[in-house]
Structure 1
Amino acid sequence: MQSRTSAARLGRPRSAAAATAILAATREALVEVGWSRLTLGDVATRAGVAKTTLYRRWSGKNELVVDAVAELFDELELPDSGSLAADIEGVVLQFAAILARPEAKSGLMAVVAESTRDEALRERIRGSIVDRQKRLVLQGRSRAQKRGELPPESDPEEAARTADLIFDVVAGAVVHRTLVSAEPADEEWVRSFTRVLLLGLTRAS
């Protein structure tokens, strides 16, 4: 007879595979039917799982869409291009490309709108998307400090506040450009934005 431990180990890959299939099906539904017509039953059918499997992980559509969009942003990587300016340009172009995808655009806009009336949803967006991607700021700043492009921080609390501010500036500008103004965040715009950002960073340093 198989032990409970062995059974649990065998169960984890199936659980992970189901979650991956559900999140992929959610993004597929966002593209095909949009947020307003997306249902958990449709997602379960697309993913080939029982509704109970889906409901064990997500209590509703909003939480499911947040996690499906968050998985897209996890694809972001900070390139090591040899300079802070080039690194920023590289990651901002990636960010803009993700926001241009229909599933990211419709999903993010919908859950942000819903979160204005739902504090728990705001917390989920913050934890699943915002806080996870702040790693890029920390990586970029550390790399720039090692190159001598930015000085090291002496106050950890001030360094954390600055990292939050940098993330807010970058994310806010790109989201506004692509989703609110509906203008392209192309290479020319990204270069101009990076120059303005670096001017502020170097003066602050």
Structure 2
Amino acid sequence: MQSRTSAPHTTGRPRSATADAAILEATRAALVELGWSKLTLGDVATRAGVAKTTLYRRWAGKNELVVDAVAELFDELELPDRGSLAADIEGVVLQFAAILSRPEAKTALMAVVAESTRDEPLRERIRTSIVDRQKCLVLEGRARAQLRGELPPEADPVTAARTADLIFDVVAGAVVHRTLVSAEPVDTDWTRSFTRLLLNGLTASATA
């Protein structure tokens, strides 16, 4: 699946998509084998079969490289059309949890989030490269549900944007915490209960 946003424009010689793909794949492999602390840009360049200068022209450091390698994993997310809003949510939550369960995603995401607490440019890169690119799934799902008559239309674009942000935060926060912090499974039963709570609010727990 292609990136949801185009790559930043650079001057000079055009970047090689093949080299980019090899570097990002090598980064994920190195994360699994070496872990965050031992991963170096030199090792990634060797694994990818490119010169160090090729890598350094593209990424300023390890943090930025790892964020982009993880972002490529999350670009695999798609919102399935399963006939109802609840079923669509369940489908994308299960996909998201499956990606988070991969060793390279576990290692990389926890590491860059920890680093970003003291690195504002890195935090911004996470927002633009991962978070903002996935919020389109919320917009897509809401628009589809509105066409089905499952959700009312929102006339105020500011309110609509805030609602989309809140929905994304709730879904992403719950699944990340469940998978990476609590280390509990995101299975069909949990996903169905979570979706019921998301759609119906706290009253859902009384009828579950």
Q: Does 1:56 align with 2:62?
A: no
SS in 2 for 1:134: helix
Structure-2 residue corresponding to 1:142: 143
Q: Bigger radius of gyration, 1 or 2?
A: 1
Q: Deviations over 1:56-84 (max 9, x none)?
A: 01010000000000000000000000000
Distance in 1, matches of 2:130 and 2:42, equals 25
Q: Deviations over 1:88-140 (max 9, x none)?
A: 00000000000000000000000000000100000000000000000100000
Structure with a larger share of its residues in helix = 1
Q: Which residue identity lines up with residue 123 of structure 2 in the other structure?
A: R
Structure-2 residue corresponding to 1:32: 33
State the 4+ residue runs in structure 1 displaced beyond 3 angstroms: none
Q: Which residue identity lines up with residue 84 of structure 1 in the other structure?
A: L
Give the superposition deviation at 1:146: 0.1
Structure-2 residue corresponding to 1:93: 94
Structure-2 residue corresponding to 1:7: none
Q: Which residue identity lines up with residue 87 of structure 1 in the other structure?
A: D
Structure-1 residue corresponding to 2:107: 106
SS in 2 for 1:123: helix
Distance in 2, matches of 1:200 and 1:48, equals 51
Q: Which residue identity lines up with residue 136 of structure 2 in the other structure?
A: R
Structure-1 residue corresponding to 2:45: 44
Scaled by the length of structure 2, the TM-score of the pair is 0.90
Distance in 2, matches of 1:163 and 1:200, equals 16
Give the superposition deviation at 1:200: 3.4
Equivalent runs, 1:158-169 vs 2, <5 Å: 158-169=159-170
Any gaps of 5 or more consecutive residues in structure 1?
Answer: 1-10
Distance in 1, matches of 2:201 and 2:83, equals 20
Structure-2 residue corresponding to 1:4: none
Structure-2 residue corresponding to 1:6: none
Q: Percent identity?
A: 84
Q: Deviations over 1:1-46 (max 9, x none)?
A: xxxxxxxxxx75x711101100000000011111111000000000
Matched length: 191
Distance in 1, matches of 2:155 and 2:22, equals 45
Q: CA RMSD in A?
A: 1.4
